[in-house]
Structure 1
Amino acid sequence: MAVPEENYTAFVEQKKREIVDFHLKNNKFYKNFIGEIDTFQWENIPVLKKSDFQIPLEKRLSIGYNKKTVYINSTSGSSGDPMVFAKDKFCHALIWANIMHRFAWHGVDFNHSYQARFYGMPLDFKSNKILRFKDFLSNRYRFNIFDLSASGIEKIITKFKQKKFTYINGYTSSIVLVAKHLKEKKLVLKNLCPSLKICIVTSEMLFEDDKRLLVETLGVPIINEYGASELDVIAFENQTGEWTVNAETLFVEILDENNKPLPLGKEGRIVVTNLYNKAHPFIRYDVGDYGVLDEKSTAKHPILKKLTGRTNDVAVLPSGKMAPGMTFYSITKKLFGDEGNVKEFTITQIQSDTFEIQYASEVALTTDEINRIEKVFTNFLEPNLKYIFTRKNLLQRNKNGKLKQFTSLVKNTP
């Protein structure tokens, strides 16, 4: 961007003020949300959550915009609050230009590079054919991630042998499952598809051991993308392995539980402002994740040091102890990894003292394996908890094809 570093803070402050002023003047929903609060001080502006948007979209659109003049989509609902949202056409075009710019860092040209796409798809005939046609026009081939059985993955591998894909893009869990199958078969995807140059994963957590597996079995560099469909790319791994935060179209903050900004290097809630969406307000919007901005971040070049999980993924135990769901999941992942039998799994807290672990595997876990896992859980969580282990041939993904790794059905209060 042409704005120099020394002027960038002032530039962002101007864009923040412009978008707030626009929505206060042109958006009744946002005006009512703000009420009589003085918005001169940025920290006074209240934080929006997905639950605040649970009213019809037409009541959230700014003056001059309607459903026919905006881009409309919906979130997957993986955070618990599915939401329909809108972007004005200029904002939507800006987002795509931003995505194309970041992909180009790694040699991906949207006009010529052929994408192997691992995203969800509608399964009804008409919608499926429309999406397939859009994929054709966009130079990409979409795989059916709802069938990741051994035979389903073999069909995917066959396509890689037949087509000259340039790069892979899609949900982390689906690509990891393909990688595990490749490892079992002692195959490297790059050897089967020599045109393949890179893999860009998104939408789900990428653990370090999974990244090593992907590098080993795909045979190409792995790039980590973090974004939200209602916003834009939030952070994208650059050529040196850093997660560069999008400071061109977004303003990203890390806040504490009282909505106060935290110093660089401190973990907190990721709150994002879209600086250009005039059709629909996303101002100080809580995306539902925890993260840390690197101490060396600047206004023009912020860096996401780490993404630590979702704010709603917390296991609340009978004692009142609260255990982060993604930490719970990562410990379980290491335990299952030791066996090499479990392909993937999900954890659901059914009651405060009861967890169901659904897993897909070649063979069922033995009693000794289950006892060992329960012992580790007891040490990590607390005694006298109940665990239900349910073996499945395939795990159920949501309608968009994502795998929700940890879910608590218990309210997040002790």
Structure 2
Amino acid sequence: MDWFKLSLQLNKFPIKRAQQTLEKIQNIPETDYAEYQRRRRNAILDYHIQHNSFYGEFFNWDGFDDWQHVPIMKKSDLQQPLKDRLSSTYNTKTAYVGKTSGSSGHPFIFAKNRFAHALSWAGFQDRYHWYGIDLNKSLQARFYGIPLDFYGNIQERLKDRISLRRRFNIFDLSEKKMEEFLQRFRKSNFSYLNGYTSAIVLFARFLKDKGIILKELCPSLKICIVTSERLFEKDKQLIEASLGVPVINEYGASEVGLIAFEDTENHWIVNSEDLYIEILDENDQILPYGEEGRVVITSLYNKAHPMIRYDIGDIGCLSTKSTLKKPILDKLIGRTNDIARLPDGKVVPGLTFYYVTKTIIEDNGNIKEFVIIQTKTDEFHINYVSENELTTEQKARIMDAVKIYVGDNLVIVFERKDILKRSRSGKLKQFTSQIS
């Protein structure tokens, strides 16, 4: 049974058509690839000018003559009700709707038409095949968080079961919990690990301290895929030594899908099939290969919601060995998260706060930016920029979420700011621990 394909089909995502389209794109010769990208860019631009009033006003189009004249979309531009940003040809029932993690400090709700979403998954499946991983058959050890409310938890576990994923809950990464992880690996034929970098690094340190190589306990393991956070070379070496399998770097974002994936020769291959990637300087000028700048993405098939010249908030550099068909990401800066250590000894990855931020991602655009800072083992500051002060009720909801996802008896200090301090690269770091 092809469980992965079945789960997409049950949700009306045309995965078979998406796989056929992906194959056709991959068969386009390098000599014709510039024309393919030009046609797709112009087609998606024309579509949103005709069918999306939000984008029509954003672009203020009076005649298209040069791609570089297309305005850059910031995350802050998208912080308004989704209904105001949807194309007239779609609604929330006919499109896939999701939420960004807010890892850059700019959370928002987005939409993708079902074909575009299926095409993203076809891309993931194609890359996983590079390493002998079949999403229809290979069992995944999933190091992610999970909703803890009853219905959200049941829904996520059902999706995991259908998609051959077994969840390792990273809300608690204490030694006792990781001992339980070990027992699961002893009893199951996992093909690969997939999850947040910081959580897998902690597990790798635990294995190292125990003198254990995971593959010796679970011989079916082939690879480990890390995502959502920056992977440092020393951490990669630690993971590979402790797990006994290669570590693969994945770069993606929920609103656009797969951005880049590391191949068997350690090249970070950029997804050029359904995305168009540009590196821009501070004046929005396109930089040549080898120069570092802002990563700007155009989703070539998303008709439900415009993601056109979208500044994702990361700094990167394309290799001088890149071609239009095969761009290679040489460097990526950003998405580094700290770890929270609590008074009871519990260790929580910074991305745990993704599940807290869900409680303040309301589809009204009130919260513009936020950061969370741990100042003491039991004290966290939530600094935010908003149109209106958070109400007592909203703060209570956040406190409840912190209690559920992070821990009890914690002090939460809310501070509304006019602006938030940024790093030299211009990014906001969503979570920072000041505890040594």
TM value normalised by structure 2: 0.73
Residue 37 (structure 1) shift: 5.5
Contact kept, 8 Å, 1:270 with 1:288, in 2: the verdict is: yes
Counterparts of 1:199 and 1:2 in 2: how far apart (Å)?
29
1:152-192 CA distance string (max 9 Å, x none): 11111111111110000111011111001111111111111
> Residue 94 of structure 2 corresponds to which residue in structure 1?
69
Instruction: Give the aligned residue type for 2:300.
Output: L
Distance 1:289 1:37, change over 3 A: farther
> Residue 10 of structure 2 corresponds to which residue in structure 1?
none
> Residue 58 of structure 1 corresponds to which residue in structure 2?
83
Contact kept, 8 Å, 1:173 with 1:204, in 2: the verdict is: yes
Distance 1:260 1:37, change over 3 A: farther
* Structure 2: gaps (5+ residues): 1-25, 340-346, 351-372, 379-401, 407-416, 425-436
Contact kept, 8 Å, 1:256 with 1:268, in 2: the verdict is: yes
Residue 411 (structure 1) shift: 3.3
For residue 282 of structure 1, the aligned residue among 307, 312, 320 is 307
Structure with greater contact order relative to length (CA < 8 Å, sep ≥ 6): 2
Contact kept, 8 Å, 1:345 with 1:358, in 2: the verdict is: no
Distance 1:117 1:412, change over 3 A: closer
Structure 1 segment 244-323 matched on structure 2, within 5 A = 244-309=269-334
State which drifts further: 31-40 or 101-110. 31-40
Structure 1 segment 80-229 matched on structure 2, within 5 A = 80-229=105-254
Contact kept, 8 Å, 1:344 with 1:359, in 2: the verdict is: no
Secondary structure of the 2:33 match is helix
Residue 91 (structure 1) shift: 0.6
Contact kept, 8 Å, 2:172 with 2:348, in 1: the verdict is: no
Counterparts of 2:230 and 2:37 in 1: how far apart (Å)?
29
> Residue 421 of structure 2 corresponds to which residue in structure 1?
411
Counterparts of 1:231 and 1:137 in 2: how far apart (Å)?
23
Counterparts of 2:316 and 2:403 in 1: how far apart (Å)?
25
> Residue 356 of structure 2 corresponds to which residue in structure 1?
none
Contact kept, 8 Å, 1:235 with 1:304, in 2: the verdict is: yes
Which runs of structure 1 show a deviation greater than 4 angstroms over 4 or more consecutive aligned residues? 343-346, 355-360, 396-400
Counterparts of 2:405 and 2:116 in 1: how far apart (Å)?
27
Counterparts of 2:420 and 2:120 in 1: how far apart (Å)?
36
Aligned-residue sequence identity (percent) comes to: 51
Distance 1:191 1:16, change over 3 A: same
Instruction: Give the aligned residue type for 2:185.
Output: F
1:236-291 CA distance string (max 9 Å, x none): 00111100000000000000011110111000000000000000000000011000
1:288-337 CA distance string (max 9 Å, x none): 10000000111101000010226xxxxxxxxxxxxxxx6xx99x9xxxxx
Instruction: Give the aligned residue type for 2:97.
Output: I
> Residue 375 of structure 1 corresponds to which residue in structure 2?
none
Residue 131 (structure 1) shift: 1.1
Residue 357 (structure 1) shift: 6.8
Residue 38 (structure 1) shift: 4.4
TM value normalised by structure 1: 0.77
Counterparts of 1:259 and 1:397 in 2: how far apart (Å)?
43
Secondary structure of the 2:334 match is strand
> Residue 369 of structure 1 corresponds to which residue in structure 2?
none
> Residue 41 of structure 2 corresponds to which residue in structure 1?
16
Residue 358 (structure 1) shift: 6.6
Contact kept, 8 Å, 2:140 with 2:165, in 1: the verdict is: yes
Secondary structure of the 1:187 match is coil
> Residue 54 of structure 2 corresponds to which residue in structure 1?
29
Instruction: Give the aligned residue type for 2:181.
Output: I
Contact kept, 8 Å, 1:170 with 1:200, in 2: the verdict is: yes
Contact kept, 8 Å, 1:345 with 1:357, in 2: the verdict is: no
For residue 46 of structure 1, the aligned residue among 58, 71, 92 is 71
Residue 117 (structure 1) shift: 0.5
Give the count of matched residue pairs: 338
Residue 344 (structure 1) shift: 8.7
Residue 413 (structure 1) shift: 9.6
Instruction: Give the aligned residue type for 1:125.
Output: F
1:42-94 CA distance string (max 9 Å, x none): 11111101111111111111111001001111001111111111100111111
Structure 1 segment 347-366 matched on structure 2, within 5 A = none
Residue 16 (structure 1) shift: 0.4
Contact kept, 8 Å, 1:235 with 1:244, in 2: the verdict is: yes
Counterparts of 1:397 and 1:225 in 2: how far apart (Å)?
31
Contact kept, 8 Å, 1:199 with 1:222, in 2: the verdict is: yes
> Residue 431 of structure 2 corresponds to which residue in structure 1?
none
Instruction: Give the aligned residue type for 2:78.
Output: F
Instruction: Give the aligned residue type for 1:411.
Output: K
Counterparts of 1:39 and 1:271 in 2: how far apart (Å)?
19
Contact kept, 8 Å, 2:296 with 2:311, in 1: the verdict is: yes
Instruction: Give the aligned residue type for 1:178.
Output: F
For residue 78 of structure 1, the aligned residue among 91, 103, 124 is 103
* Structure 1: gaps (5+ residues): 311-325, 333-342, 347-354, 361-395, 401-407
Counterparts of 1:413 and 1:111 in 2: how far apart (Å)?
41
